[in-house]
Amino acid sequence: MSRTRIFATASVAFAIAAFVACAEPASTNVSSSPALDRAGFDQAGAHRQYGVPQKVGNGTVRTYLVLDQKNAGRPLEVGVALSERALEGLPAPVASPDPMANMHMYTLDLPAGNPTQYKFVQFDWNPKGHEPDSVYDKPHFDFHFYTVPVEVRNSIMPSDPQYATKAANYPGPEYRAPFYIDAATAAGGAPPAAVTVPMMGLHWLDVRSPELQKLAGNPAAYREFTKTFIYGTWDGQFIFDEPMITKAYILEKKTATDPSVVDEVIQVPTAAKYSPAGFYPSAYRITWDAQQKEYRIALTQLAWRE
């Protein structure tokens, strides 16, 4: 759904700047060691299993799992694969007062026998991006990996009499990843219901993200948005993990010559506790597979957490 309520942009600088002041230098774009980077991608015993494809652009999109056949099918990676031509022929931006006219949503089932806590993936194409202007207003994709059923996602609607209560019901501090603040706090203390996105949830942002630094009063550290990692909550629980990546950045993987760029793994902060217990990522991956001719965006380096 529309993200027009994620930020109250005029206030965001003050809230984010306060958190940035006590944060470590941005490190979310630093990859792990090469050996760990490859885990779950081409290691011996790893098996990739795909979900049912859907048409997108001139190609297809489908989910996948990488399972460790040498370790009782333990999940190593869960992701979304876009065929080579899926990034061609995508819907173009249109002039419309309806923000939904420029957001194209796909609900993707995970492969049969999925052993992870993730229930489905919501994949979105945003040809005009979304606000704040000069931050996330570039053509990009959202990859929401939900730990709740579709029915719960669909119930996140302002028509729910408990909408404000559920939006303001935050998980305890032990369930929150370091450096992340919720959109209500980022908006200078807005009511959580005012910035919770219907049929999505309340978004949480890493204050160290380069694209946010101009708003945070730290212009020297600002970089244009290419990729970021977001968490989402609803009614006392984190319900999705979300890589958000520009189309241009994904396309660059195909023509890159540096292996660490072609197959990029970005570390993410993790929490002390998780609910529900399951296999959660320490990183996310953006890669081009020349043999399979597909782009993949995944949660990777999965480890059991509770």
pLDDT digits (tens), the chain, 306 positions:
344 445 444 345 545 555 554 454 444 343 443 434 444 456 778 899 999 999 999 999 999 999 999 999 999 999 999 999 999 999 999 998 887 788 899 999 999 999 999 999 999 999 999 888 789 999 999 999 999 999 999 999 999 999 999 999 999 999 999 999 999 999 889 999 999 999 999 999 999 999 999 988 899 999 999 999 999 999 999 999 999 999 999 999 999 999 999 999 999 999 999 999 999 999 999 999 999 999 999 999 999 999
Integer Cα distance of 154 and 25 in angstroms = 37
Integer Cα distance of 147 and 169 in angstroms = 17
Integer Cα distance of 33 and 30 in angstroms = 10
Biggest alpha carbon distance in the chain?
54
Integer Cα distance of 78 and 69 in angstroms = 15
CA quadruple 254, 256, 257, 261: dihedral sign: negative
Q: What is the pTM of this model?
A: 0.91
Query: Token pair for residue 1?
Result: 């759904």
Closest CA to 240 of 122, 139, 124: 122
| Domain segments of the chain as ranges | 9-305
Length of the chain: 306
Using an 8 Å Cβ cutoff, are 288 and 295 in contact? yes
pLDDT at position 15: 58
CA quadruple 213, 211, 170, 117: dihedral sign: negative
Integer Cα distance of 114 and 187 in angstroms = 37
pLDDT at position 20: 53
Closest CA to 195 of 210, 181, 206, 215: 181
pLDDT at position 40: 45
Residues contacting 43, CB < 8 A, separation 6+: 68, 76
Amino acid letter, residue 175: Y
- Indicate the burial class of 287 (C-beta count within 10 angstroms; 0-12, 13-18, 19 or more): buried
